[in-house]
Amino acid sequence: MKQAQQPEALPGTVGEGLAQRGISRREFLKFCTSLAALLALPPSMASAVAEAISKARRQSVIWLSFQECTGCTESITRSHSPTLENLIFDLISLDYHHTLQAASAEAAEHAREQAMQDNAGKYLLVVDGSIPLGNPGFSTIAGISNHDMLVETAKGAAAIVAVGTCAAFGGIPKADPNPTGAVAVGDIVKDKPIINVPGCPPIPVVMTGVLAHFLTFGSIPELDELGRPKSFYGETIHDRCYRRPFYDQGKFAKSFDDEAARKGWCLFELGCKGPVTYNACATTKWNDGTSFPIQSGHGCIGCSEPNFWDAGPLYKALSMPVSATPAMLGTAAAAGVAAGVVITWHNRSAKAAAKTAHEKVTVQDLAREDK
Amino acid sequence: MSHLDLLTFARGSALNWALMLCVAGVVLRLFEIFALGRKADLARPRTVSPGSGWRTMATRSLPPEGMLKRDPVTYIGGYVFHLGLLVTIFFFAPHVEFIRSMTGLGWPGLPAPLVDALAVAAMMALGILLAHRLNNPVKRMLSGNGDYLAWALTLLPLLTGYLAYHHLLSEYTLMLALHLFSAGLLLALLPFTKLFHTFSLFISRWYNGDISARKGVAS
């Protein structure tokens, strides 16, 4: 694909823009077919997707970064270069993004305000990072607290995409003891449709896929009860894992470098959280479908699930107790013995008392009874 | 509270309390049983039969002669259920990991489909045994609330485990949490219900065998 140069004047529709950049229809249709597959749409929808995208106007996107590590942005930048996926960036007008925009200081903030004004009610708001409620000063941009900027920018948004586990569920900043009082986007904004795209970071094509869905259909994709698109988060890593047959056969790696690990056996016993993690890593994979953590030999840490950081040790099997220790059981056993001593003392006292209170029945007693 | 949070609680505090109640309860009850004591038997044994108690522990566990004529449902159902439960608890790989983490003892697990089949057999046996208990006048008369409680406490972990494994009825994480809660409930109540026979069974069999031998009916 040809290197995209920023045009002098932005084309009206995506189709015009693509034509201007010399991207053939065949190339575009191929892209739409893979996009349709990614969005779990039937192949016949590919041409409809192409039609919708080429006629769509470039979607204004405002990307806000709060308490985050820029991993999500790092991830999404891996999705486009040098593949056809950088079309996604041509489909949207990324009007505000700290890391990627050239403007700085007041000019940057002006870009956000301008986009909000020009596309009121139509722009897509992408948020990565959690929002600290403990103290507004914990995280600010141009002197504006994260909370205030989110509330202000969310007002005119058509929809919000909470990218990354921090924005979707609070993520690592929210992990115990949550020193900043971090919350997710959904904890603050209640009146806008929110698409949660969790992951630490999320899979690049999942992020771009969600944006493409919005662009194609003008609506948000079908979501599960945690607000995640079902097409990407509908199944667990475990159920789609290529090592799953080993789990069923009871073949497990016992350490990261044993013979079983080299044979590619299941990593369940090494703490893999694949069975309780809903994400598309095992199917879409990372780095252009090269691999994913389990394929690289490490268990899934469940990074796309709410509160994954506090969900027990990363290297303890899912079926192991989180915090029970043999010492705890020893204490319980000692308590059992102590209680046993007390009950035995009570039993024996009762027995002794019964023995003392026992009156022998004599013949005279029986005779008296007769009277 | 998300499903994962619920699972973390089920694997964490809830399980800790259940395990502690189970251990304390089992130790307490065993202590109580042994501390009851027996009066010294001053009579001379009628037969000298060393090891009769130990033999009885084995012989009473094997199928008795004529069991199919006497009460096939109870005997076959009982064996199928106990065998299925035993294999499910001790040979399903995640369960082995659970035991290993608590005791340091571990062994290889069996293939999941085999354990699955035996768990289904155990559940079916439980169902049949309950139906038999309700239909048989003698069994019904002998049954109290404690029996039905023990039945439910045993079925729940099997059922929730099966549903979780097969992703049925509810989302996996939630069902796994429910499975752990039901296992916790079973552990916590085991020492204080008829399920304590898990521990007292072989003690009483040994005692019966030994005392019978002293009275002249050694096994």
pLDDT digits (tens, 9 = 90+) for A137-172: 999 999 999 999 999 999 999 999 999 999 999 999
Fold of A237-310: Cytochrome-c3 Hydrogenase; Chain A, domain 2 (4.10.480)
pLDDT of residue A8: 40
Token pair of A261 as six digits: 């690990």
How do the domains of chain B map onto residue ranges?
3-15+69-214
pLDDT of residue A98: 84
Instruction: Tell me if chain A has a CB within 8 Å of the CB of B108.
Output: yes
CA distance A203 to A72: 9
- Checking if the pLDDT of A359 tops 90, the result is no
User: Are B101 and A321 inside 8 Å of each other by CB?
Assistant: yes
Token pair of B196 as six digits: 């304590």
Among chain A, residues having any CB pair with chain B shorter than 8 Å are: 169, 226, 236, 239, 247-250, 252, 268-269, 275-276, 302, 305-308, 310-312, 316-324, 326, 328-329, 331-333, 335-337, 339-341, 343-344, 347
- Buried/exposed code over A168-180 (b: 16+ C-beta within 10 A; e: otherwise): bbbbbbbeeebeb
- Checking if the pLDDT of A44 tops 60, the result is yes
**Cα B89 to Cα A69, A167, B14, B116, distances in angstroms:** 43, 40, 19, 11
Looking at residues B214-218, what average pLDDT do you find? 84
Q: Give A307's contacts in chain B (Cβ within 8 Å).
A: 2, 4-5, 8
* Better-scored residue on pLDDT, A309 or B167: A309
Residue from the list B13, B23, B98 with its beta carbon closest to the beta carbon of A336:
B23
Give the CA-trace dihedral at A196, A202, A203, A209, to 10 degrees.
Answer: 30
Q: Is B61 left (phi over 0), alpha (psi -120 to 50) or beta?
A: alpha
The percent of residues above 70 in pLDDT, for chain A, comes to: 92
* Residues A58-233, CATH architecture: 3-Layer(aba) Sandwich (3.40)
pLDDT digits (tens, 9 = 90+) for A99-115: 888 888 889 999 999 99
pLDDT of residue A5: 38
> CA nearest A304 in B: which residue?
B4
pLDDT of residue A368: 59
Give the CA-trace dihedral at A131, A135, A139, A141, to 10 degrees.
Answer: 100
Instruction: Tell me if chain A has a CB within 8 Å of the CB of B97.
Output: yes
How do the domains of chain A map onto residue ranges?
58-233, 237-310
Residue A104 amino acid letter:
S
Looking at residues A295-316, what average pLDDT do you find? 94
Residue B3 amino acid letter:
H
* Better-scored residue on pLDDT, B96 or B39: B96
The percent of residues above 90 in pLDDT, for chain A, comes to: 59
Q: Would you call B205 exposed, middle or buried from its count of C-beta atoms within 10 A (0-12, 13-18, 19+)?
A: buried
Task: Give the gap in angstroms from C-alpha B34 to the nearest C-alpha of chain A.
Answer: 10
pLDDT digits (tens, 9 = 90+) for B42-72: 888 888 888 899 999 999 889 888 888 888 9
When pLDDT is cut at 50, 70 and 90, the band that residue A234 belongs to is: very high
CA distance B176 to B7: 7
Q: Which of A312, A311, A284, A290 is nearest to A202 (CA)?
A: A284
Percent of residues in chain B assigned helix, strand, coil, to nearest 5: 75, 0, 20
Measured in degrees and rounded to the nearest 5, phi and psi for residue B205 equal -65, -40
pLDDT of residue A151: 97
How many residues in total does chain B contain?
219
Looking at residues A66-76, what average pLDDT do you find? 92
- Buried/exposed code over A224-259 (b: 16+ C-beta within 10 A; e: otherwise): eebbbbebbbbbbbbebbebbebbebbbbbeeeeee
When pLDDT is cut at 50, 70 and 90, the band that residue A315 belongs to is: very high
When pLDDT is cut at 50, 70 and 90, the band that residue A78 belongs to is: confident
Task: Give the gap in angstroms from C-alpha B135 to the nearest C-alpha of chain A.
Answer: 38
User: Are A312 and B167 inside 8 Å of each other by CB?
Assistant: no
Token pair of A81 as six digits: 């270069």
The interface predicted TM-score of the complex, written ipTM, equals: 0.83
